[in-house]
Structure 1
Amino acid sequence: LHGSCFSDVGLWLHDKQATEWGVDESTRRSCQSKGKTEDECQNYVRVLLLNGSRLFTCGTNAFMPMCTTRPVTDISSVLESIGGVARCPYDPRHNSTAMITESGEVYAATVTDFSSRDPIIYRSLGNMPPLRTAQYNSKWLNEPHFVSAYEVGRFTYLFLRENAVEQDCGKTVFSRVARVCQNDIGGRFLLEDTWTTFMKARLNCSRSGDVPFYYHELQSTFYLPEQDLIYGVFTTNVNSIAASAVCAFNLSAITQAFNGPFRYQENPRTSWLSTPNPIPNFQCGTVNDSGPGGNLTERSLQDAQRLFLMSEVVQPISTDPLVMQDNIRFSRLAVDIVQGRDTLYHVMYIGTGQEGIKCDIQCCALWF
């Protein structure tokens, strides 16, 4: 499937296939009339998801996102075409991610507008009602760069980096893990068509010391479901000295953070304070125990509207990163489990360098 590029996608097909998915002339002219270049006004494939015998894919389509469903056995055949807004970015350079469940719900983290001012975590298609994060609310999402999404039990986890709203001094980027319940049906009088189970927590990847050295910016993740481990590539800010690290997180540590207290700001002039979790040991089933939305009281919806940032930071499995390297920026990561003579090894393949210019591969082995 040839658009112009793929981003963070991988797919094994039974046979080698290729097809063209270009932009019609009127759409290209419309794109260029809005000040975009010829290169920008192409179709960049940004979503590629396998769902049984069907392939769901979305492209930027010259800043008019479009999605198609195709049979895996013949990807040149289009079974259905739908609009790609809120499922695919307009700009091919925007970081976004998506996943699809067995029942056909698409969870996408992207932007919904031409100017990229409305970031969104959006559920669509399938049997559940469409839901999104709160619109134009920087406390929910503040200039995010989305990295990855995974289905784990009844939750969808999303990994991202964003400007930290809880920092009082200057501009700081934090890495986050966000979570929503897959059976969330949205609110009734508050948070209508909006997530009522959205939560997010900060991920810590830092070099220990009297003054810890933080790798703030998450670039890539890899999920090992057999080990309940999430590996992440972290770097320093692009304007600072280049340094990179790999940290790994247990899902239990992420769950612990989501069961803990929240951070809450009464108004923009007050400090962020810790407040107890009104539903400790939260499980998705609590949403629908008394029927669809039956226990979504006005108080619980008010809590869901203001309590979403967790107070506890998710700590990695080791005090120091598993891999650290200065004067270089890691970009991508893949992890394989290899049986050694006496133990299992986690072999990491780490991509470095500027995308599109070069990509070196480093290999590191850790034992568990």
Structure 2
Amino acid sequence: MRTPRVPPPRPALLLLLLLLGGAHGLFPEEPPPLSVAPRDYLSHYPVFVGSGPGRLTPTEGAEDLNIQRVLRVNRTLFIGDRDNLYRVELEPPTSTELWYQRKLTWRSNPSDINVCRMKGKQEGECRNFVKVLLLRDEATLFVCGSNAFNPLCANYSIDTLQPLGDNISGMARCPYDPKHANVALFSGMLFTATVTDFLAIDAVIYRSLGDRPTLRTVKHDSKWFKEPYFVHAVEWGSHIYFFFREIAMEFNYLEKVVVSRVARVCKNDVGGSPRVLEKQWTSFLKARLNCSVPGDSHFYFNVMQAVTGVVSLGGRPIVLAIFSTPSNSIPGSAVCAFDMTQVAAVFEGRFREQKSPESIWTPVPEDQVPRPRPGCCAAPGMQYNASSAFPDEILNFVKTHPLMDEAVPSLGHAPWIVRTLTRHQLTRVAVDVGAGPWGNQTVVFLGSEAGTILKFLVWPNASALGTSGPSVFLEEFETYRPDRCGRPGGSETGQRLLSLELDVASGGLLAAFPHCVVRVPVARCQQYSGCMK
């Protein structure tokens, strides 16, 4: 069945939908949580503030942490900070404090700092902020830092944090500015989505560090990217999928409209011919993600905030994503689920094109699409055994038609969770698909900007996963510890939730803020005498 075309959002109708409670009463109810955890529970939760063993606070005169990235590898947590990388053991799970066992200090050299200052940057920006933190293999960490707006990458021993080999350039692998969003993953080679220049004009999806050619997206082409904000990347099948939001070129007759996208590239792409797409992706395609409340006029949540990895629900590969409304709209957040097989199906559908700069975007007639299908993965045994052998007609079509016509529908064609009455915008999501006494329940944790966690039990239809039953708002609890995580009279930015990760082994959530990481249990059963039964 073909997914209905997603029209652009209409603000007046959206406002009316909210005021009226949605078309025909379809807009979801928002009951309060079944329980709210008392704030004094927070004082019992382990926290990391940059301390070593036996010391509850950092040494006198030490700076506050400025955490950028966290990576959990089994029972070890790696924390990428400003000028430092920490190795923290998560055992025993009952410990009352989190300390680092190893610390790597990686500062920018004076010449890089001087050049950074000469280019007009502030002293606090001309530091080395760890923006890429990946497991390269079972013994090696791959780390990139902004390095005073001259990004660098290096390999380190996972056990000792000792350097392995020389530094390499971080260009197209790591942003120059620590405030810029970027994503990265290893799958045989390094796949990154970031900006390649000091002014952050050239956004790129880039592949490097392996046995295949280095590839990138087409430069300065608004059909490929228009001011993207990269959110997440996952590996699934023969592709890498990138989730991001950007300005929608197909709605160019409106004000700037932000939409959420998923793009994909073939892992085995080797680039185009010397004439077309040389050293560039031949398989890059992108599609819109539709997270909306159905009705006579859909209510859209357009701004993607976070995406989970691929999890198995009812035997289907699912990602959950949290979306919000634009900042100048009525505040609201929603969680939508997407089946990766449906995502892949959209990339086998119709392409969309704009015949002239003044015309609207329309589907490409099927008889005008060359064969083999543009964007497919070349492989030995096929008509073309490598992407570099594709005819120029196919390569030119891919270059000028990266956008798919259909949007990817959310499972059930509606959000699983909607919140429009929340005090803070919801920006982080974690999911436990093996919750409950028998490991057969699905619990979703949503984190607000300020560290408040909303815990939901959801009932996807296990037979088809086509619809979601009602979700139950189980609990609301805090994770931010003002006594440990912020300066006196701390700022809003210091309380911003950077990441939220489920740590099943300890029955906890790892909540990272700029100045600390807090481990919070997923349940506070001591509140309820019969809970454990």
What residue number does 1:284 align with? 377
Amino acid at match of 1:249: F
8 Å contact kept, 1:71–1:79:
no
**For residues 94 and 318 of structure 1, what CA distance do their matches in structure 2 show?**
34
What TM-score results when the alignment is normalised by the length of structure 1?
A: 0.92
8 Å contact kept, 1:4–1:42:
no
Tell me the alpha carbon deviations over residues 258-295 of structure 1, each in whole angstroms, 9 at most, x when there is no partner.
Answer: 01000011221222110135456975245873433464
Moved more, 190-199 or 38-47: 38-47
What TM-score results when the alignment is normalised by the length of structure 2?
A: 0.64
8 Å contact kept, 1:343–1:367:
no
SS at match of 2:408: coil
Q: Shift of residue 60 of structure 1?
A: 0.6
SS at match of 1:18: strand
Amino acid at match of 1:365: L
SS at match of 1:311: coil
What residue number does 1:365 align with? 457
Correspondent of 1:330 among 426, 451, 457: 426
Tell me the alpha carbon deviations over residues 10-41 of structure 1, each in whole angstroms, 9 at most, x when there is no partner.
Answer: 44465542211111222112112211112211
1:57 and 2:122 matched: no
Change beyond 3 A, Cα 1:9–1:110: farther
1:6 and 2:98 matched: no
Amino acid at match of 1:313: A
Change beyond 3 A, Cα 1:343–1:366: farther
Correspondent of 2:176 among 90, 109, 123: 90
Change beyond 3 A, Cα 1:159–1:287: farther
Moved more, 21-30 or 114-123: 21-30
Amino acid at match of 2:136: N
Q: Shift of residue 61 of structure 1?
A: 0.7
SS at match of 2:104: coil
Q: Which structure has greater helix proportion?
A: 2
1:134-283 equivalences in 2 (<5 Å):
134-167=218-251, 168-188=253-273, 189-227=275-313, 228-275=317-364, 276=366, 278=370, 279=372, 283=376
Q: Shift of residue 197 of structure 1?
A: 0.5
What residue number does 2:401 align with? 307
Count of aligned positions? 361
Q: Shift of residue 5 of structure 1?
A: 2.5
* RMSD over equivalenced CA pairs, Å: 2.1
Q: Shift of residue 160 of structure 1?
A: 0.1
Tell me the alpha carbon deviations over residues 148-198 of structure 1, each in whole angstroms, 9 at most, x when there is no partner.
Answer: 111112100000000000002111000000000011111111011110100
SS at match of 2:283: coil
8 Å contact kept, 2:116–2:149:
yes
Moved more, 119-128 or 234-243: 234-243
Q: Shift of residue 238 of structure 1?
A: 1.8
What residue number does 2:186 align with? 100
SS at match of 2:394: helix
Moved more, 155-164 or 271-280: 271-280
**For residues 98 and 294 of structure 1, what CA distance do their matches in structure 2 show?**
25
Amino acid at match of 2:411: I
1:104-119 equivalences in 2 (<5 Å):
105-119=189-203
Structure scoring higher RCO (CA < 8 A, sep ≥ 6) equals: 2
Q: Shift of residue 320 of structure 1?
A: 2.3
Amino acid at match of 2:309: Y
Q: Shift of residue 78 of structure 1?
A: 4.0
SS at match of 2:105: coil
1:17 and 2:102 matched: yes
Q: Between the two proteins, what is the percent identity of the paired residues?
A: 37
Q: Shift of residue 240 of structure 1?
A: 2.2
**For residues 298 and 76 of structure 1, what CA distance do their matches in structure 2 show?**
47
Change beyond 3 A, Cα 1:264–1:230: same
Change beyond 3 A, Cα 1:287–1:258: farther
**For residues 9 and 343 of structure 1, what CA distance do their matches in structure 2 show?**
25
Q: Shift of residue 343 of structure 1?
A: 7.5
**For residues 399 and 359 of structure 2, what CA distance do their matches in structure 1 show?**
18
SS at match of 2:173: coil
Amino acid at match of 2:203: P
Unmatched runs of 5 consecutive residues or more in structure 2: 1-49, 51-64, 77-88, 90-100, 461-533
8 Å contact kept, 1:28–1:42:
yes
8 Å contact kept, 2:375–2:398:
no
1:41 and 2:126 matched: yes
Q: Shift of residue 342 of structure 1?
A: 7.2
What residue number does 1:318 align with? 412
**For residues 323 and 56 of structure 1, what CA distance do their matches in structure 2 show?**
36
